[in-house]
Structure 1
């Protein structure tokens, strides 16, 4: 039987993401909310429950604002059964972990989780997740870690103290810088659109990143800034700004140059950063070209490893429609890498058909990407996409392998794929 999970705050953006992720991972999911959750539950195809029913679940996830963790833990914790898990998704950890430990009975395990991305993430592949164990999370820590890692996430396990200290810089400082940038533009009476004709590549990236931060939840970002670890970080930033401003006001060119050199030396690999950021800027320009090319024929490598080609149409800000010979795809720009003319010619010369979605049951700890590489080496296989289908229990996970094969002898190729999977002792569902 799959684990049963209750997401408290399941109608919020992150709660909806969490419920969808757990459902895709094979858990039996329900959501709870202060308001009517029936519409969200129906849309997500999950159940609906009350926090008072927390004792019916193996996992209770608190996906609520930081300042509501205490009251939510106080309501859910005492109702939970021994052996179950209480966890949160907060951006801070010291306060929430303390609240959960206070309200969860001794037999209930407590674990902090912080997905380092927003609710618009359709996949956790190559994204960071931090887990913060307590002195009673021995059973559930490896289970939750495997859940994220098998979906492709990079998991770091640390203490609440280290988490909050690191996030004071990663989130606290970064958010503060961009919010201050936005307030400065407001005070100057300058709108970003007014500067289109004068925009440099660096300003363009800064503008988009500032807009991304400014579009987030004001409540969440205010609570992050109120964290005790963020205050000294802000103070250091303001002091650095004041020092640089004083040098500029006084005409201390040598001092300003020395400060810049000192910061660069502390940063470290500035040459590497310049090269990496250059690639980001080039990629942004390449993807921007899509807007000018409706009707053009292009080839792309998708995030799941599949290669496709087709005609571009219906271009939007964040995605575009690609009409391939066999299907119409809506592709997010950040999930597609443009391929060159040679790849386009190769794909057109023998366009791969989607042969089959194959569900493979694999033990926890087995690497699905290794199996993908083995299958890709089979003659006739032109590409394979992999995604987590669902977790059966703490010992097994089912992966969906989308196998693309050449049209010639496609059934024979698919049989070789199946024979290879069976030969490795794996079960096809």
Structure 2
């Protein structure tokens, strides 16, 4: 075990991933480095990759649920969450488990988890505000949001949060509602602008300014994300529609301002 494993008194846990796509793989590498025992199940076959990472992969969700996890981490797409959860035979759980989601919206998974999970299951809603690109060089000073929705076993919850604390994350406890309100103004708007720039097919030029280089980077980062993520950010954050309208109105105001300035300048010239 590396010298950084289980730092800040983080106790080794058994953590099971439901969904093992790019973001889950990104998290799992740090979890493994810290000394936690990982299991995973997913619709796609990640058995070879998991074997390389030292993770037990289960093709069948029933055997995954039999694996005696302390934590079950939900890392599905936003859109597939209800279907995935409702398809799981949760009665196979041997003990109360902490369920953690890492989705980019929060009110939606909170309600689904409360509806579907057994009453004895603890629920922690989280959003690591970083990913494989922004967190590639470490997680120090990167934001990690969480809400303790239903927690009885404080030790398990605390140990899970220490995974991120020990990596230097900025820990932000807030309600799922407040998260979604803020995320609509930040993450969703970033994705909306990046998608718009993608539709414009902007690319680097020989005379790029620093500002334009930043826009290209935003476009490239956003376009590397799935359309399902962007759709989920819009469909399942009730504040997103208003922010999209605000963006549209702002662009219209900018256009009208430019037209007005142009007309006034032309009138001065004609005089």
Interval containing the TM-score (normalised by the shorter chain): 0.7 to 0.9
Q: Secondary structure at the match of 1:251?
A: helix
CA contact (8 A) 2:151 2:157 kept: no
**Is residue 182 from structure 1 mapped to residue 202 from structure 2 by the alignment?**
no
User: Which of 107, 119, 124 is residue 132 of structure 2 equivalent to?
Assistant: 119
Name which of 17, 22, 37 aligns with 2:26. 17
Residue in structure 2 matched with residue 204 of structure 1 by the alignment = 213
Correspondent of 2:227 among 207, 218, 233: 218
Superposition deviation, residue 115 in structure 1 = 0.9
Shift of 1:2: 3.2
Question: Does structure 1 retain, via aligned residues, the 8 Å contact 2:79–2:228?
Answer: no
1:251-275 Cα offsets, whole Å, 9 max, x none, are: 2799xxxxxxxxxxxxxxxxxxxxx
1:61 alignment counterpart: 73
- Mapped to 1, the partners of 2:83 and 2:34 lie a distance apart of 28
For the residues of structure 1 that align with 2:150 and 2:173, how far apart are their CA atoms?
Answer: 13
By relative contact order (CA 8 Å, sep 6+), the higher-ranking structure is 2
2:180 aligned to which of 164, 173, 193: 164
Q: TM-score, normalised by structure 1?
A: 0.54
Aligned-residue offset at 1:34: 1.6
CA separation of 1:223 and 1:135: change in aligned 2, threshold 3 A: same
Cα gap change, 1:107 to 1:9, in 2 (>3 Å) = same
Q: How do 1:65-214 and structure 2 match up within 5 A?
A: 65-74=77-86, 75=88, 77-120=90-133, 121-122=135-136, 123-136=138-151, 139=154, 140-183=156-199, 185-186=200-201, 191-193=202-204, 195-196=205-206, 198-214=207-223
The answer for the alignment partner of 1:239 in structure 2 is 249
Contact 2:129–2:144 (8 Å) recurs in 1? yes
2:18 alignment partner in structure 1 = 8
Q: Give me the whole-angstrom Cα distance separating, in 2, the residues matched to 1:13 and 1:47.
A: 17
Q: Secondary structure at the match of 1:241?
A: helix
**2-structure distance, mates of 1:7, 1:124:** 20
Shift of 1:76: 5.6
Instruction: Give the gaps of 5 or more residues in structure 2.
Output: 1-10, 265-271
CA contact (8 A) 1:69 1:96 kept: yes
* Greater strand content: 1
The change in CA–CA distance for 1:78 and 1:229 in structure 2 (over 3 A counts) is farther
C-alpha separation between the residues in 2 aligned to 1:117 and 1:76?
31
Cα distance change of structure 1 residues 130 and 137 upon mapping to structure 2, 3 Å threshold: farther
Could you tell me how far 1:199 is from its partner in structure 2? 1.8
Q: How many angstroms does 1:178 deviate by?
A: 2.1
2:51 is matched with: 42
Report the Cα offset of residue 137 of structure 1.
5.2
- Bigger radius of gyration among the two: 1
Specify the alignment match of 2:7 in structure 1: none
Aligned residue in 2 for 1:51? 61
TM-score for both structures, normalised by structure 2: 0.83
Q: Separation in 1 of the partners of 2:149 and 2:208?
A: 49
3-state SS of paired residue (1:213): helix
* Alpha-carbon distance, 1:126 to partner: 2.0
The 3 A distance-change label for structure 1 pair 216 and 26 is same
Structure 1 portions without partners, runs of 5+: 255-429
Q: Secondary structure at the match of 1:26?
A: coil
SS in 2 for 1:5: strand
Aligned-residue offset at 1:135: 3.1
Which residue number in structure 1 is paired with residue 261 of structure 2? 251
